[in-house]
Amino acid sequence: MATSAEHGHGSHLAHHFESPQQQLAAGKLGMWIFLVTEVLFFSGLFVAYAVYRSAHPEMFADAHRYLSTTLGALNTIVLLLSSLTMAWAVRCAQLNQQRGLLICLGVTLACAGMFLGVKAVEYSAKWQEGLLWAGAFSPHEGAAHVSLISAPLFILSIPALLLVVVGAGGLAAARAWKWKQASATSATLLATGIAFCLGAVLATGVSSLKAHPTAGNQQPTAQHAGDEQATARRSETENPAGSSINYTGINYTGVFFSIYYAMTGVHALHILGGMAVIAWLIWTAAGGRYGAEYFNPVDYVGLYWHLVDVVWIYLFPLLYLIH
């Protein structure tokens, strides 16, 4: 402790580091090594996808009709915006812009909430349509109607509704007690819960405007509605020299959805983890911990958040843009 005082360093320099430069370099190196393990972790899912797509290309083309490109593109833009504000938050911390730092982190967290709101509508609509993983995959006809009032969507929205309640209550209490740090944090939690609901409303609106946007110009709904024998017969007539579906009539679309849920689910878990850490950043930033001399945690969390964004950049065309 004495040495850091002698060197004129702030209290942020851990005693085992020589200088803030060394501390930052070591932290970033550690973060990049973690990101390398994340890349390799996600690569397992991407390899499963590639093997299955190369073996059953026709089932991937079939499955894409169940996914809304509009919602995927909307979520891509929301996540790109959150990446921009995260990078901007790092800049604000480096330049000691306390207000900008809080605003940027708040927008990043709210965008993450909105992303999950859109995702919740997608998941709950698929649940209602029977578009589940292999083994439970049984699409029903006419279930394409997407509604805000649905049990699965309500269940998925419970954490966001709790966030609204906790955020609003915390904000009221913190303002009454004039506790700035708590009121800034509660306000962002409230905004994040509201952003989730906004995303859900927006996604529901988009889906009801054009449920299954591409279904019309491909096959009548009855034919891709999961009757396995019909699918097999259709493939035989359309594609006599084609691949495995011709011989057995097995509907592999459920396997596509297994991969879909594994990839988007693991990605969504990373978003949730990132949101927890960003909420902690907001709490500490509101307490004035970061500035030009010590912005390290903001920088590290930013690196993680951008990696999660990059994973989505690849997931979007692989899952939503197959034709």
Residue 316 is a binding residue for other proteins (CB under 8 A): yes
Of 7, 14, 18, 36, the one binding other proteins (CB under 8 A) is 36
Of 66, 67, 76, 106, the one binding other proteins (CB under 8 A) is 76
Q: 């709790």: which residue's tokens?
A: 162
Residues within window 143-182 making contact with other proteins, judged by CB under 8 A = none
Of 28, 212, 233, 234, the one binding other proteins (CB under 8 A) is 28
Candidates 139-147, 152-160, 223-231, 239-247 — which segment interacts with other proteins by CB under 8 A?
239-247
Would you give the DSSP letter of residue 97? -
Q: Which residue's CB is nearer to other proteins, number 77 or number 151?
A: 77
Q: Which two tokens stand for residue 313?
A: 């950049």
Of 239, 248, 269, 272, the one binding other proteins (CB under 8 A) is 248
Q: Which residue's CB is nearer to other proteins, number 61 or number 143?
A: 61
Q: Count residues near other proteins (CB under 8 A).
A: 64
Of 3, 5, 7, 54, the one binding other proteins (CB under 8 A) is 54
Of 29, 165, 209, 272, the one binding other proteins (CB under 8 A) is 29
Crossing angle between the packed helical segments 98-129 and 296-320, to the nearest 10 degrees: 30
Rounded distance between C-alpha atoms, residue 67 and residue 147, angstroms: 16
Q: Closest Cα partner for 163 from 13, 279, 319, 282? A: 279
Q: Which residue's CB is nearer to other proteins, number 81 or number 143?
A: 81
Contacts of 12 (CB under 8 A, 6+ apart): 20, 289, 293, 294, 296
Residue 103 is a binding residue for other proteins (CB under 8 A): no
Rounded distance between C-alpha atoms, residue 141 and residue 13, angstroms: 62
Q: Which residue's CB is nearer to other proteins, number 230 or number 250?
A: 250
Q: Annotate 102-151 with DSSP letters as a single string.
A: HHHHHHHHHHHHHHHHHHHHHHHHHHHHT--STTT----TT-----SS-H
Of 26, 27, 46, 266, the one binding other proteins (CB under 8 A) is 46
Q: Closest Cα partner for 140 from 74, 72, 204, 221? A: 221
Rounded distance between C-alpha atoms, residue 243 and residue 236, angstroms: 10
Q: Which residue's CB is nearer to other proteins, number 76 or number 124?
A: 76
Q: 246 burial class (0-12, 13-18, 19+ CB within 10 angstroms)?
A: middle
Angle at 117 between CA 148 and CA 136, to 5 degrees: 75
Q: How far is the CB of 213 from other proteins (least distance, A)?
A: 11
Q: How far is the CB of 322 from other proteins (least distance, A)?
A: 8
Q: Which residue's CB is nearer to other proteins, number 155 or number 321?
A: 321
Q: Which two tokens stand for residue 123?
A: 């998941």
Of 244, 261, 262, 277, the one binding other proteins (CB under 8 A) is 244
Residue 22 is a binding residue for other proteins (CB under 8 A): no
Residues within window 269-298 making contact with other proteins, judged by CB under 8 A = 291-295
Q: 29 burial class (0-12, 13-18, 19+ CB within 10 angstroms)?
A: exposed
Q: 93 burial class (0-12, 13-18, 19+ CB within 10 angstroms)?
A: buried
Report the interface residues with other proteins, using CB under 8 A: 10-12, 20-21, 24-25, 28-29, 32-33, 35-36, 39-40, 43-44, 46-47, 50-51, 53-55, 69, 73, 76-77, 80-81, 83-84, 86-88, 90-91, 94-96, 243-244, 247-248, 291-295, 299, 302-303, 306-307, 309-310, 313-314, 316-318, 321-323
